[in-house]
Amino acid sequence: MAASSSSSGLHRKYGVFLNFGEDTFGSFVSHLYKALRQKRIDTFIHIEKVRKGDRLSEPLTAIRESRLLLVVFSQNYASSTRCLKELVEILKCNGTNEQIMVPIFYQVDPFDVRNLKGSVEGAFARTEMDESWRSALETAAQFSGWDSRKFEDDADLIKKIVEDVFGKLKPIAPTPSEYDVFINFRGADTRKGFVSHLYKALCQKSISTYIDNQALRKGDPLSNLLTAARTSKISIIVLSQSYAYSPWCLKELVAIWESDRIKNRILIPIFYLVSPNDILTLQTGSEEAFAQHGSDSNAEVGVVWSRRSALPITPNISGWVSRQG
């Protein structure tokens, strides 16, 4: 499948540009490239045997002529100046002329990429440590992408990526900018049980409902979650035992409370296997969670305080309790 022309009339020579480090080429990236080619998706990969005879001499040009920009973050990715230079160009192109960047976190934690921790920090230390490269790593990791640790094997991951790429190269129908309901919840506690049943029940009643793993597409900025939290007519806040450990749950909660339209919106807290008093007094691990957030060197004091303030006021709103504490 050749890349389609955009609405602005720009021709895309490639459907996909692959940005990756040497530690993934001989395995994951090679298999991904093969799978994309088998689907007849024109893909640019920066190796001589693929580029032989191609009129393009620079990968930066190929980036500008590709529709989808797949960035494969790995443990040694940040040690490659080539990868980082390409990433800077990818971020310049992302969101312009229908170009979309999609990160793939291969055997590396998105948190480590976003905050330059663990193996990513060590790899980056082996480069010139250009600030534009640091900023590019932090920014790119803020987008929704694929996490290899959530798949049983590479074959399953590659299959899902190729299906997603194939779908993105087709015209994308517009999505509603506002939802009836936004569900704020801690995935580790409730995604596979209570929240999945709640989401299904709302959809069966034709209620437009935002839930991250359904509405957030690969390549979308994670900030879309906060936009949906601010603009949805009703916010359902599912408070569970480890809710406060999730920075994103708390970010969404602050966004809900700080929304300019708060007086015209409906907030419904659901206390799932916790009591309102536990949340009100920061019990059930909440105090420990905030101590953990406060010890994070990357966290701003004001941000931590706003999250801490938002949680205890939520139980003051009438809601549902799955069990009495």
Model confidence pLDDT, tens digit, residues 36-61:
998 889 999 877 433 444 444 578 88
All residues at 6 or more sequence positions from 17 whose CB lies less than 8 Å from its CB, including other chains? 43, 44, 59, 62, 63, 66, 68, 69, 70, 90
Cα gap 267→124, rounded to integer Å: 43
State if pTM tops 0.85. no
Q: State yes or no: is 86 an active-site residue.
A: yes
- The predicted pLDDT at position 217 comes to 81
pLDDT band at 6 (very low <50, low <70, confident <90, very high): very low
Amino acid 272 reads Y
Question: Where are the domain boundaries for CATH 3.40.50.10140 in the chain?
Answer: 14-168, 181-321
Say yes or no to pLDDT of 297 above 80: no
**Closest residue by Cα to residue 162 from 34, 24, 20, 6:** 34
Only one residue has tokens 């309901």, namely 181
CATH of 181-321, one of 3.40.50.10540, 3.20.20.70, 3.40.1280.10, 3.40.50.10140: 3.40.50.10140
- Residue 13 in contact with residue 19, Cβ under 8 Å? no
All residues at 6 or more sequence positions from 263 whose CB lies less than 8 Å from its CB, including other chains? none
Q: Report the pLDDT averaged over residues 125-145.
A: 90
CATH of 14-168, one of 3.65.10.10, 3.40.50.10140, 3.10.105.10, 1.10.3720.10: 3.40.50.10140
User: What strands, in cross-sheet order, belong to the sheet with 320-321?
Assistant: 209-210, 181-184, 234-239, 266-271, 320-321
**Collapsed DSSP state (helix, strand, coil) of residue 52:** coil
Half-sphere exposure of 122 (CA within 13 A, CB side): 6
- The predicted pLDDT at position 74 comes to 95
Cα gap 183→189, rounded to integer Å: 14
Q: Report the pLDDT averaged over residues 288-317.
A: 59
Cα gap 259→35, rounded to integer Å: 44
Residue of 65, 86, 98, 252 marked catalytic: 86
